[in-house]
Amino acid sequence: MAELSKPKLSYRTADGDECIVPLDRVRTRDLATAAPWRTLRSYRGQPHYSGMYWSATTGTHVVYESRLELARLLLADFDPAVVNILAQPFQLSVQVSNTAV
């Protein structure tokens, strides 16, 4: 049977410092100012459509890696109930180990 470690969430502050916290200790205010975890990559022949979208909600560019993400960004940007948009603000990780029973 596989055993899972406690999930951990990694994010980068606006200053670029990496923070790792247990998933149950994450504060939304920390993620609200987090820098994107992944950077935008672009190369010739890539199989997906990525880019940067200028968001009126945030007043900044928001990165996306697919047309589906772009479509969701557009919907969020025009929704008056949305107050912030974050692009991939964290990485979630868990360690899995197999143990014989």
pLDDT tens for each residue of 22-44: 989 988 888 888 888 877 777 78
Assign 23 to helix, strand or coil. Answer: helix
Whether the Cβ atoms of residue 61 and residue 52 lie closer than 8 Å to each other: yes
Domain layout of the chain by residue ranges: 1-36+86-101, 41-84
CA distance 24 to 7: 8
DSSP letter at 7 equals: P
Average pLDDT of every residue of the chain: 86
Whether the Cβ atoms of residue 4 and residue 92 lie closer than 8 Å to each other: no
pLDDT tens for each residue of 44-92: 887 778 888 999 999 999 988 888 999 999 999 999 999 999 888 889 8
CA distance 63 to 65: 7
